[in-house]
Amino acid sequence: MNRTLATLAAVGASAALVAGCSNPDTNSDSDASATASSGAVTGDITVFAAASLKTTFTELGETFEAENPGTNVEFNFAGSSDLVTQLIQGAPADVFASADTSNMTKAVDGDLVAGEPANFATNTLTIVTAPGNPKNVTSFADLADPDVLTVICAPQVPCGSATKKVEDATGTEIPAVSEESAVTDVLGKVTSGQADAGLVYVTDAAGVGDQVATVDFPESAEAVNTYPIATLNSSDNAGTAAAFVALVTSDTGRRVLTEAGFGAP
C-alpha cells in the first residue's frame, strides 16, 4: 500500500490532534473539519478494529473518505486480542480500536500507541437464540442447562471476558459447546442453526434483526465493556490517522454509534 509520507509539520499537527482526542467529550464535528482543513488529511490509512465495530466503522470510513477527498480507509476487523497479537508481531496499521480496555493496555505496554487512547463507546451482552426462542431461554441461568447448546466467546476476547465476569458474579457456569475468537462468530453459529443460544453484544444482535430472538438479562450490568481508540506509533500517515480518530470521537461518530446501540463512554 502506497501511503503519503507525513511532513514534519503534519506530524506536529497530528500529535496535537491525538492529545485533543484523549477526552471524547471535548470533541465535536468541528474538530474533524478543522483537522481536514489543515492539509494533513490525505492518503491511505489502515484501521484495526474490533469485530463488533464492523457496521459502524464501515459507515464512518465512508463518511471520512467523502469529507476528505484523496483519503482511503482500509479496515481489519477481528477479535481485539487477535488484533493486538498481529500488531505486536509487526502488522502495519495506523489506528487501533479495541472492544475493551485490557487489550488496548497491551498495545500501550508494547509501545505501539501514540498519545493517550480515547474512550468512545460502551457495550453490554445479550442472549441470542433462534427466532421464536425454541429452547425457551428466559434468563442467564438457563444457559447452564447442558441441553441448551450455547456458544460463547473465548476468555481472551472482550466478549468472552465479559461473559466470564457475569459467570463469576452469578455463580453460573455455562457448559459452552464452543468458544469463538470473535463475537461475530458466536452470532454466526446461532443464525446458522449450529447453536441454540449465544452471548453477543446488544449491537450485534440488533444488527441482524429478526434472524435471532434476544433475551436481555439484568446481570449484564456486571460486565460493561468500554471501547478505546488510538493512533499507532507505526503509522506513516499520522495526520490522517488522527483525523479519523477525531471523527470517531466527534458528534457524528457518537450519533452513528448510538444509533447502532452503543452506549456513551
Check for a shared fold between 43-122+226-260 and 125-222: yes
Residue 52 is labelled as binding a ligand: yes
R_g (Cα) of the chain, nearest Å: 19
Cβ neighbours around 142 below 10 Å, total? 20
Q: Which residues, at least 6 apart from 192, have a Cβ–Cβ distance to it below 8 Å? A: none
Phi, psi of 130 (to 5 degrees): -65, 155
pTM assigned to the model: 0.81
Q: What is the pLDDT of residue 2?
A: 38
Taking every pair of Cα atoms in the chain, the longest distance, rounded to a whole number of angstroms, is 62
Fold of 125-222: D-Maltodextrin-Binding Protein; domain 2 (3.40.190)
The H or E element containing residue 75 is strand 71-78
Exposed / middle / buried, residue 136 (Cβ in 10 Å: 0-12, 13-18, 19+): exposed
CA 233 to mean position of chain CA atoms: 20
Q: What is the pLDDT of residue 172?
A: 96
Q: What is the pLDDT of residue 40?
A: 76
3-state DSSP assignment of residue 200: strand
Q: What is the pLDDT of residue 263?
A: 96
Domain ranges of the chain: 43-122+226-260, 125-222
pLDDT per residue of the chain (265 residues) written in tens, 0 to 9:
433 333 333 333 333 333 343 443 434 444 444 443 344 799 999 999 999 999 999 999 999 999 999 999 999 999 999 999 999 999 999 999 999 999 999 999 999 999 999 999 999 999 999 999 999 999 999 999 999 999 999 999 999 999 999 999 999 999 999 999 999 999 999 999 999 999 999 999 999 999 999 999 999 999 999 999 999 999 999 999 999 999 999 999 999 999 999 999 9
Please report, in angstroms and rounded to a whole number, the separation of the first and last CA atoms in the chain: 33
Between 3.40.50.300, 3.40.190.10, 3.40.80.10, 3.40.630.30, what CATH number should domain 43-122+226-260 receive?
Answer: 3.40.190.10
Half-sphere exposure (Cβ direction) of 182: Cα atoms closer than 13 Å: 18
